[in-house]
Amino acid sequence: MKVLAGDIGGTNARLAVVSEGRILFERWYPARDFPDFETVMGRFASEWGRPLPDLGCLAVAGAVQDNRVRATNLPWTIDGDELASRFGLSALRLANDFEAAAAGVLALAPEDLVQLGGGPPEPDRPKAVLGPGTGLGQAILVPCRGRYEVVPTEGGHADFAPPDAEAAGLLAALADRYGHVSVERVLSGPGLVETYRYFFRAAEEAGVPPLRDPAEISRAGMEGSDPTARRALDLFRRVLAAEAGNLALRCLAGGGVYLAGGIAPKILPVLREPAFRRAFEAKGRMAGLLARIPVFVVVHPAVGLVGAARLAAAGPEQAPARAETA
């Protein structure tokens, strides 16, 4: 069965026609080049050149209510029912982007995951899924009657809790600038830039030009060519590890913690260093519990699209999930 699947982030809108897990036709669109999502979908339908599949699911960064969502990092409001009527679909489901990512995690093969320590995942135990990109997504997979149910969250907008004194200094600086500081304010591409700027002040006084792009900062940090970038990347890693540990504790994620999103695979060499596990497990009396929980980096390039396709195939009400995944 063919379905329409979409993964709508703050940077790109990715649409595909998928059949039984195989992508038949796919397009990427720079989201900010379009005034609204209906225009994006119209472009995709025109390029597909035939009727769109009967069922679809769009994974969108934002809180979905009544099959409608205001995108968190875009000036778009997307209504699934209106789009279904406009483009001739029987049903077009909207899902939080990390609801789809979590559904996609259940379909991954072992080669789509890189384990960062811990023991084997325990069967029939909750799984935590999170990941920084343009924002920070979080979701939980809960075992229920031999399958997993996806619990979407907006945990990225919860308060940032600094894990150490250096991060506390960053929090104070961001609070002066923004007031409320969410964990997404730090754990995201823009957050990495904010962290770099925080550490850059001394270098800026010396007249050194700053880096402005998160990809540049990540690359310079991993290469060691810019000490300020490396310092920012090290703090980013500690905060990501601490937040992953927080989410693992909140749901007792014996089934594992899965780092998805656009940034984690790109900084995999840094995440493989022992400092990540140290920060993940640094939870006082709970350190022993976290030492057993495996962390996986999702290296599949389209986990959100895979998950959206699974949600679409299940229909507007149910999400498919298997309990036998790693």
**pLDDT for res 210:** 86
Between the CA atoms of 41, 45, 48 and 51, what dihedral angle is there, to the nearest 10 degrees?
A: 130
Mean pLDDT of the chain, nearest integer: 93
Going from the N-terminus, what domains does the chain have, and what CATH number goes with each?
Answer: 2-96+303-314 (3.30.420.40), 109-299 (3.40.367.20)
Residue 317 has pLDDT above 80, yes or no: no
Beta-sheet pairing, 295-298 with 257-259 = parallel
Q: Model confidence over 64-78: pLDDT tens digits?
A: 999 999 998 889 999
Residue 129: pLDDT band (50, 70, 90) is: very high
Residue 103 has pLDDT above 60, yes or no: yes
**pLDDT for res 222:** 96
Q: Model confidence over 223-234: pLDDT tens digits?
A: 999 999 999 999
**pLDDT for res 323:** 41
Binding site: which residues?
6-11
Residue 321 has pLDDT above 80, yes or no: no
Q: Which residue has the tokens 């397009």?
A: 27
Amino acid type, 63: A
- Output the six-digit token pair for 136: 């920070």
Look at residues 218, 216, 197 and name the one whose alpha carbon lies nearest to residue 208: 197
**pLDDT for res 218:** 97
Residue 283: pLDDT band (50, 70, 90) is: very high
Residue 10: pLDDT band (50, 70, 90) is: confident
Question: Please, are residues 152 and 321 in contact by the beta-carbon 8 Å criterion?
Answer: no
Question: Please, are residues 121 and 254 in contact by the beta-carbon 8 Å criterion?
Answer: yes
Of 21-25, 95-99, 198-202, give the lowest mean pLDDT range: 198-202
Q: Model confidence over 23-45: pLDDT tens digits?
A: 999 999 999 999 999 999 999 99
Average pLDDT over residues 93-119: 96
Average pLDDT over residues 2-20: 93
- Grouping H, G, I as helix, E, B as strand and the rest as coil, residue 178 is helix
Binding site for ATP: which residues?
6-11
Beta-sheet pairing, 68-70 with 64-65 = antiparallel
